[in-house]
Every structure is written in structure tokens, then in C-alpha cells.
A and B are shown apart, each in its own frame.
Chain A
Amino acid sequence: MRPLVEERPAGRRLVAALLVLLGLGLAPRSLTVVASCTVLGLVVALGLAARIALRRLGSRIALALPFSLGVAGLALFQPDPLASFVVLAARTTASIAVLQLVVLTTPFARIVDALRRARLPRALVDTVSLLHRYLGLVASEMHRMRRARAARTWDDSRRETWRAGAAVIAGSFVRSLARAERVALAMRARGGS
């Protein structure tokens, strides 16, 4: 009997993305722009096939681009400034598009499954898994603490902002430790070692 939800591990997808990125990195300089445009076209086609709204894909790429283009802008100090910048900008844009496509089409559970199948250390995979599970909880708790602290603090000087921020992080560390103890107890109660 086939399962209700077909399990497709993300390993192949990650390896394919890595090979494309490696190919882009190894492409000769004269072919980089053409190769990058081809990869971008491929990403758009795959995005359409996966029924991802192109606007969503485009906005995520645009969000990640400024930093990369900023670093690529340093290529303007190279001997052949414009050509160096264009090559770097094209390669970076295509690479970012590849990663965004992988992220948008791969659920987290499949990523963890792929990491397990790749035989990465168990300590690391378990940590990634628990990090994903508790990130929202710890982050929202930290933001609530910061808001509460801001509501109680009348002094809005930069020094006080830094002190308050540090106190929030320290408080969050203490709470996270307590939470870790509770999680460990729950894991043991469910049969963990």
C-alpha cells in the first residue's frame, strides 16, 4: 500500500543544487554570464512547475541580493572593473535563485531526513531538529521580554537600550536552560536515554 504522503528525501535535490552551484563556480569567466542566465531560466521553469508564485520567488531573491551585490561591488576595484562586477553579480544572482528554489520547495522534515541519510553526526542533526522546534518559542519569548522591559524603562538612552538588551539575552539564557531541563525530562518520559 502506498503511503498517504509520499516521502521524497531532499538529498538528491540538495546534491543537484550543490552540483549546479559548483558548476557555476567552475565555469570559465567568459561563459559565466551565459551559464548564470541559463541557471536563472531553469530556476524560473522549475519554480513554475512546482507552482511557486514567481512574485514570491522574485521578492525573496531581491531581498537577498543587496548584500551580495554590495560585496560584488568591491570588484569595481579590480583591473577590469565593469566586467568583473557583471560576472560576479550574474553568478551571485543565479546562485541565490538556486538556493531560494530549494528552500521554497523543501519542507524542513525532508531536510532533516536528508541530513540523517547523509550520515551527518547525530549530535548535529538532533541539534538542528530541536533548534527548529524551539526557535519560534525562544524568539517570541525573547521579544516579549524585550517589550516588557521597554515598557518598564523610562530612560531611552543608547546606554540603557544596550543594558536592557543584554539583560533580556541573559534572562533568555536562564529561561532556555530551564526549558532544556523540561525538554530532557519529556524526552526521557517518552523513552529517550
Chain B
Amino acid sequence: MHVPDGLLTAPVALASAALSAACVATAAVRSRTRAGARATALRGVMAAFVFAAQMLNFPVAGGTSGHLVGGALAAVLLGPAAAIIVMTAVLVLQCLVFADGGLLALGANVLDMGVIHPVVGYALYRLVAGRTPNGARRIVALAFGSWGATLATAATCAGQLALARVAPPGVLLSAILGSHVVVGAGEAIIGALVLGALQRVRPELLTVDARGDRLPPLALGVFGLSVALALALFVTPFACSWPDGLEQAFRRIGVVPSSARVELAAPLRDYSVPGLSGALSTSAAALLGTLLVFAVCVVLGRSLAPRREREKLTTAR
């Protein structure tokens, strides 16, 4: 899934680079709290492990093979911040030493495989695994997280290529997303088998859950917002434009909701920004909407959270 140079336009590459830079910087700040020889060595050797694991191909079907991306697995084993650093290091080396993936497209590749894969994978894993996961639940959670992360990564990659007008969005989304439904299943199976093997051989190594590797609110906000912005920028412009169920029902029974009756001056009407057109307009509207919702949530969260919780959040920082 390494995007080479020449396919993405400069604005898409630069927007992706800005989002990934924010996440890598936050992950680096987070890793500063765990500085020292042990943490440095662990990240370096684990990056070598992820790189080597990516080189191990598995037979899929029809003479084709697949390999692990490893972002979700790394996030579950090392924590999301360390996983972002590890995956970014892998992608930087692949680009600058092996010329795998583009230099201008490095930001896009880091965003797709270095940020979205571990963050989405870890979020889905936590969602399914819960607070005290047992063996089987942990394996199912990782499998689901890996599959979902691969799909989110593929959708973002397809959106970036579509926004760069490499091909029509329908063609790109069906080609890339369709094939990654299968690739994601492979990622899920390999991840589950690796986690199962680890649980059998060295269960004490799966300590991320046990030691409560909770992200501070700032890191959580930056990672979550970056993934949301990436999806808003690159995927939402190509969402299905068909009417939803209610609109379809209105059309069938001949009810036309009159916009003349309740005419509010909505600034981003029909998910578009005045003055812009096409996918760019939808992207900009989604970007503004995401930022607005995030700001509202932060303000509401801060004002509604009990004082004790607020103090806890401040000290966690």
C-alpha cells in the first residue's frame, strides 16, 4: 500500500504530511516521558521486528501472497504512541534506503500506515476487548481491530488518490477497498495467530493492558482528531450521494420539504463551502464540521465533567 511519488498532487501530499507530522510529534513527546536506553532500544528493535515481519509473505489465493502491515499489532503490544514512532521509522527507512514509497508521498504513507493503522486498530481493540480482556476476547479484539484498521487505511489511501484525480472515485474505492477486505482478513488472521502464540508461550509479555497504558487526554485528542480529519478530508467527498431513507420516503409519497418555509442561513448548507466546488468543497465542509464538533465536545466535556474527573485529567497530563 506504499504510495509512490507522482500519483498524489502537492496539496494532498502536503495536507497528509501536516496531519501525520502532528501525530508523530505528539507520539514523540509522549515517548519523551519514557525516555532512556531501555525504551529507545525497545522501539528500535521492535521496528526491526515489524520490518522483518512485513517481509514474511503468506500464500493467499490464485498464486498471490500477502504480508502483515503490523500497525494494529504493534499498537496492542507496545501502546499506540510507541507504535506510531515504530511504524514511522519503518516507513522512513523503507523510503530513504529501499526507495519503497515516495519521498513527497512519505507524509501520506505515514498517515495511512503509521498513524491510521495503529490508532484505528488500537481503538477498535479497546472497544471490543474492554477493560479486563481474557485470552479469547483479546484475540477476537485484535483480529477485528486489524481488519478495521486495514479497511480504514485502504479507504484513506483510495480517497487520497481520488482527490488527486488519479482515477474516478468509484473505480479507486472499489478496486482498493474491495481487495483490502481480503487483505484485512489476512492481517486479522496473522495478528490473531501471533497473539495466540504469544499468549501460549509468554503470556506475561502482554502487559500493555495490565500496566494500564492510558494515553493522556492531549495525545488522545491529537490522535483521534487527526484520524477524524483524515477521514473527513479524504473519504467524505466520495461518500454515496444517494438520498437517505427519510428523503427517499418523502420523495415516494410526494412530500417535498419546503426549504422556503424554514430558510435559515446555514453557513455550510448541503455540506459545501460557498466559493468552492466539487470534492474540494465537501472536503472543506467536512474539515470545518469535524473541527467544530471537536471544539464543542471539548467545551462540553470540560464544563460537564465533575470537578474530581477534571482534576484527574489535569494531573494525568
Chain A residues packing against B (C-beta within 8 Å) = 14, 17-18, 21-22, 24-26, 60, 64, 67-68, 71-72, 74-75, 77-78, 88, 91-96, 98-100, 102-103, 106, 108, 111, 115, 121-124, 126-135, 137-139, 141-142, 146, 158, 161-163, 165-174, 176-177, 179-181, 183-185, 187-188, 192-193
Contact = CB atoms under 8 A, between A and B. Distances in A.
A138 B190 contact: no
B263 to A, nearest CB: 37
Residue with the greatest number of chain B CB neighbours at <10 A, chosen from A78, A135, A173, A174: A173
A141 to B, nearest CB: 8
B89 A67 contact: no
Instruction: Give the size category of B's interface with A.
Output: 35 or more
B49 A172 contact: yes
Given A166-B197, A184-B37, A123 B96 contact: no
Where chain B touches its partner, the secondary structure class is: helix
Contacts of B46: 176, 180
Contact of B201 (A60, A98, A141, A170): A170
Interface in B18-66: 24-25, 27-29, 31-32, 35-38, 40-49, 51-53, 55-56, 58-59
Interface in B179-214: 189-190, 193-198, 201-202, 205
A103 B99 contact: yes
B172 interface: yes
B54 to A, nearest CB: 10
A162 B47 CA distance: 22
A169 B100 CA distance: 22
A184 B89 contact: no
B177 interface: no
Nearest to A93: B6
> What is the predominant secondary structure among interface residues of chain A facing chain B?
helix
Contacts of B68: 169
B44 A126 contact: yes
B152 interface: no
Contact of A180 (B29, B44, B51, B198): B44
A169 B85 CA distance: 20
A124 B49 contact: no
A169 B167 contact: no
Interface of B: 4-10, 13, 24-25, 27-29, 31-32, 35-38, 40-49, 51-53, 55-56, 58-59, 68, 77, 85-86, 88-90, 92-93, 95-100, 102-104, 161, 165-168, 171-172, 175, 189-190, 193-198, 201-202, 205
B18 to A, nearest CB: 15
Contacts of B27: 123
A185 B29 CA distance: 24
A130 B202 CA distance: 25
Contact of B36 (A127, A139, A176, A193): A193
A121 B201 CA distance: 35
A154 B62 CA distance: 23
B37 A169 contact: no
B28 to A, nearest CB: 3
Given A130-B41, A165-B193, A170-B195, 14 more contacts: A92-B5, A92-B6, A95-B6, A95-B104, A99-B99, A123-B32, A124-B89, A138-B52, A161-B58, A168-B56, A171-B197, A176-B45, A176-B49, A180-B45
